[in-house]
């Protein structure tokens, strides 16, 4: 009998202990500070000015990139902002292990995400951010496909506030193969050409006042190149200029990627690319760069953000940023960069990918596989005549019949 009483008292103690722990956990959960994302609002009803002015409720900071951006002794050359979806841990890891591991020292990499209401997912991404130091999370918007325009405005604004001195901003998706070596050559050649061309233009014509968007391409201005090694890339054709309305100085710029022209607006409400005619009445979209990836000189970003305040939002972020704001409002000339493809080629040969700047539509294992194959190529591996014929044929076929990701 005494044994039974002791067992009951012991059992009661266990249950009291469990109850006490449960009460403590409940109290801590109530009192512990939590993030409160902005409630979802249909994008076309949002006040763009208010949204842009209230950005950067950052709960995760990319400490590695911030360190590079705050280093006064060296200027960031290319800030890479990967538009990432919160649950896509494998995709981010594939980027880190493929082209993300092959970046020059002054090319910081940031995965940009929005808010989530999933506490477990938030905790998982917090641990990931703590481990790698390359995730930026802005709670100003919910992370969803329909909010890609808000995400892009946020990441562009973030680059201006936290990495002011970066020369170029590369906005890129997480399923993209990036040829770092070719992009490095392109940016170096464009940078040198911008210096020479800017000096040449100042000698050609006296300064005059004007607004951003007074774009011109005088041949005498574009031909001034000093580095013969860049002749094959012809960086001059990607460079344009505007006259700063405040300083009256000429400023050169580049805004390039895969350029779309003459695309019909999608009017099927069931399509993910549907565009309500009440928001955009024209049947043909303005010229725009594919949102999968594009590169832009940082001096354009303040103008894009300012003009976006006066441009009604739509869900198609690439059409909005480069088409409606860039092309229509600012009269910016968009550049189609050679080797910048919208989809991957039909023939997955590493010799083809070595010639491309970007390619779109890779699963994490595919991205790792292609990167490794390209990385293992010898200098002469792709020199045969037959291989060059196959490369040309494959790229031609892929341009007519795109390999759209499944």
Write down the pTM of the prediction. Answer: 0.81
181-205 pLDDT, tens digit per residue, is 999 999 999 999 888 776 555 555 5
Q: What is the CATH number of domain 46-178+255-262+288-340?
A: 3.90.550
359-380 pLDDT, tens digit per residue, is 999 999 999 999 999 999 887 8
As given in the structure block, the two tokens for residue 31 are: 């009192």
Task: Specify the domain boundaries for CATH 3.90.550 within the chain.
Answer: 46-178+255-262+288-340
324 touches 311 (CB < 8 A): yes
249-273 pLDDT, tens digit per residue, is 788 999 999 999 999 999 998 888 8
pLDDT of residue 235: 86
219-228 pLDDT, tens digit per residue, is 333 343 444 6
* Residues 6+ away with beta carbon under 8 Å from 374: 179, 350, 353, 354
Mean pLDDT throughout 151-157? Answer: 96
Nearest 5°: the CA angle 341, 344, 347 is 125
Does the structure show a pLDDT above 90 at 389? no
For residues 264 and 189, what is the distance between their CA atoms, to the nearest angstrom? 35
Using CA atoms in the order 202, 194, 111, 62, what is the torsion angle rounded to 10 degrees?
Answer: -70
For residues 317 and 406, what is the distance between their CA atoms, to the nearest angstrom? 21
């Amino acid at each position: 009998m005494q044994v039974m009483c002791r067992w009951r008292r012991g059992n009661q103690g266990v249950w009291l202990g469990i109850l006490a722990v449960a009460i403590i956990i409940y109290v801590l959960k109530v009192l512990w500070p939590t993030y409160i994302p902005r409630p979802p609002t249909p994008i076309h009803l949002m006040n763009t000015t208010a949204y842009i002015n209230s950005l950067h409720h950052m709960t995760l900071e990319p400490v590695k990139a911030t360190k590079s951006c705050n280093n006064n002794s060296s200027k960031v050359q290319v800030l890479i902002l990967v538009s990432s979806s919160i649950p896509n841990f494998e995709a981010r890891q594939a980027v880190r292990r493929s082209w993300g591991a092959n970046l020059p020292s002054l090319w910081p990499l940031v995965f940009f995400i929005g808010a989530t209401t999933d506490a477990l997912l938030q905790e998982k991404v917090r641990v990931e951010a703590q481990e790698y130091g390359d995730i930026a999370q802005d709670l100003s918007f919910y992370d969803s496909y329909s909010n890609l325009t808000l995400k892009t405005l946020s990441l562009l604004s973030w680059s201006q506030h936290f990495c002011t001195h970066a020369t170029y901003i590369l906005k890129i998706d997480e399923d993209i193969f990036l040829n770092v070596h070719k992009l490095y050559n392109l940016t170096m050649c464009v940078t040198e050409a911008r210096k020479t061309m800017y000096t040449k233009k100042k000698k050609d014509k006296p300064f005059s006042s004007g607004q951003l968007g007074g774009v011109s391409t005088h041949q005498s201005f574009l031909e001034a190149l000093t580095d013969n090694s860049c002749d094959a890339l012809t960086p001059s054709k990607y460079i344009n200029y505007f006259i700063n309305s405040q300083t009256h100085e000429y400023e050169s710029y580049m805004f390039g990627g895969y350029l779309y022209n003459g695309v019909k607006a999608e009017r099927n409400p069931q399509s993910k690319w549907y565009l309500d005619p009440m928001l955009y009445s024209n049947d043909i979209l303005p010229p725009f760069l594919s949102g999968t990836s594009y590169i832009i000189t940082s001096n354009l970003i303040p103008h894009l953000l300012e003009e976006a305040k006066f441009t009604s939002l739509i869900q198609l972020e690439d059409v909005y940023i480069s088409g409606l704001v860039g092309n229509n409002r600012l009269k910016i000339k968009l550049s189609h960069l050679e080797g910048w493809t919208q989809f991957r080629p039909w023939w997955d040969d590493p010799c083809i990918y070595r010639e491309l700047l970007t390619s779109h539509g890779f699963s994490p294992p595919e991205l790792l596989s292609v990167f490794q194959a390209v990385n293992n190529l010898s200098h002469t591996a792709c020199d045969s005549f037959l291989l060059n014929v196959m490369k040309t044929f494959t790229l031609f076929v892929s341009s007519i019949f795109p390999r759209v990701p499944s």
